Structure 1
Amino acid sequence: MPTEEFTRSVVVARPVEEVFAHLARPESYIGLSPLIVAVREVDVSADAVRYVAVERFRLRALRWDNPIRVTMTFPEPGRRIVSEVWSPGRVRLESTVVLTDDSAKTRVSETVRVTFPGILRALVVGQATKVQGSRLAELARRMDRAPGS
């Protein structure tokens, strides 16, 4: 099956520890990723966090909720988060987020690797790149607010 990979970065006005804590919680992805409207079945173990995220797609009056299984691991605790996503239609996505100090700020770099049936290429790659850009922009917006605001 075809695979595509792309990387984007953003600098946010919070320390690495705070950004990591936010991104390590499945509930943080509601609204962070524009399609995620719910998180359920969260299972935290010593080596991973597993959960089901619900993506909501809309086309005019039609609404489709797509449950996706996510496993988050932390190969470098506090610095790296790897999320593996299994979606219907044999679509697989792996997101690797790397956090690095940038003065009093944090550089967030995300590499997305998506595998899909060839016929779904335009839809999958288009959605994945759009969602990645929106997710990083929303993260910057959230992290650039004053604490407690």
Structure 2
Amino acid sequence: MPNITLRNTFHVRNTPEALRAHLSQPQSYVGLSPLVVAVKDVQQGERETRYTSVERFTFLGVVKYDNMIKVTLRSTPQTVEGEVDSPGGVRLDYRFTLNDKDGGTEVEDLLVVHAWARPLLGYAAKKARQVQLARAGILASRLG
């Protein structure tokens, strides 16, 4: 399956622990990704959390489509990571690496976008990159 790797590193003026706590909660992703409008069916396991994330797309300014994606979320002392499985053959692997730096946290946001067809991969990677870049500012605003 073809894939594209996207990486963004940014700084947030808060502790790695605060960011890990925030990024480890499914509800935190509402608005953190500008496309995510809700989370539901949260199932907390011993080592991971699984839930459904509702991504809302608007086409031509009027047609709305809610994409139900399955998300797996795991937290370690230095990372928050997981997988996203979207209908239509798009999958994302993600990892936030959190390092104490300069009175705050250096965040490395890594996404690997997978899709069964190159045109779909290009579209999904473009959207994922827009979300990734927006996320840096949103996290800094929420926790900075």
TM-score interval (norm. to shorter): over 0.9
Q: What letter is aligned with 2:42?
A: V
How do 1:1-149 residues align onto structure 2 when only pairs under 5 Å count? Answer: 1-59=1-59, 60-74=61-75, 77-116=76-115, 117-144=117-144
Q: Distance in 2 between matches of 1:140 and 1:6?
A: 19
CA shift for structure 1 position 141 = 1.2
* Count of residue pairs the alignment pairs up: 142
Q: Distance in 2 between matches of 1:122 and 1:85?
A: 17
Runs of at least 5 residues in structure 1 that lack an aligned partner in the other structure: 145-149
CA shift for structure 1 position 119 = 2.7
Structure 1 segments (4+ residues) deviating >3 Å: none
CA shift for structure 1 position 143 = 1.3
Normalising by structure 1, we get a TM-score of 0.92
CA shift for structure 1 position 9 = 1.1
> For 1:120, what is the secondary structure of its paired residue?
helix
Q: What letter is aligned with 1:62?
A: V
Q: Distance in 2 between matches of 1:100 and 1:63?
A: 38
Q: Provide, for residues 1-53 of structure 1, a one-character-per-residue CA deviation record: whole Å limited to 9, x for no partner.
A: 21100110110010111111000000000001000000000011111010000
Residues 113, 121 of structure 2: 8 Å contact kept = no
Normalising by structure 2, we get a TM-score of 0.95
Q: Distance in 1 between matches of 2:39 and 2:51?
A: 7
CA RMSD between the two structures: 1.0
Identity of aligned residues (%): 36
> For 2:39, what is the secondary structure of its paired residue?
strand
Q: What letter is aligned with 1:69?
A: K
Q: What letter is aligned with 1:14?
A: N
Q: What letter is aligned with 2:74?
A: T
Q: Provide, for residues 73-132 of structure 1, a one-character-per-residue CA deviation record: whole Å limited to 9, x for no partner.
A: 22xx23111120000111010111100001320011111001112231321111011111
Runs of at least 5 residues in structure 2 that lack an aligned partner in the other structure: none
